Amino acid sequence: MTLSVHDCGHTSEGIAAMKRLIALIPGTLLATYAWSQIPPPDDAKEPRDLGHTAVMHVYWYAPKTTEITHVESYLFKDEAACRSSIDKALMIATPHAAEGDLMNAQCVGMHPDAGQLKKAPPDGSSVL
């Protein structure tokens, strides 16, 4: 029985290039895996800012449709400080409004009832 070898058309340079490409695959996979294990930086989260009981919402809106085009919110220590700042906030924000947009500002205060702060545990639950 005789075996004959046929030329398949591959050159030694082509085979070497293919081997180099195959050798890159594990390194690429390892680098991708390592990159995915890096945790996001802490500054990607919004920091908590405690002690505020009021927020001012500044609205930009189209006058004909009253469609809100932009909103910004600012925190205040109390509702009185928020309300006293509305005029200043509108004066500062007016130059930044798009042509023809109107502006409005509103203060919202948080006044939780004493009952909301201390809720009784639901029936059937145990207190630890």
Local confidence pLDDT in tens for the 128 residues of the chain: 555 555 566 677 778 888 888 888 887 878 787 777 777 666 556 666 677 789 999 999 988 898 998 899 999 988 899 999 999 999 988 888 888 889 999 999 887 655 555 666 667 776 66
The structure's pTM equals: 0.50
H-assigned helices in the chain: 12-36, 79-84, 86-93, 114-117
C-alpha–C-alpha distance, residues 36 and 30, integer Å: 10
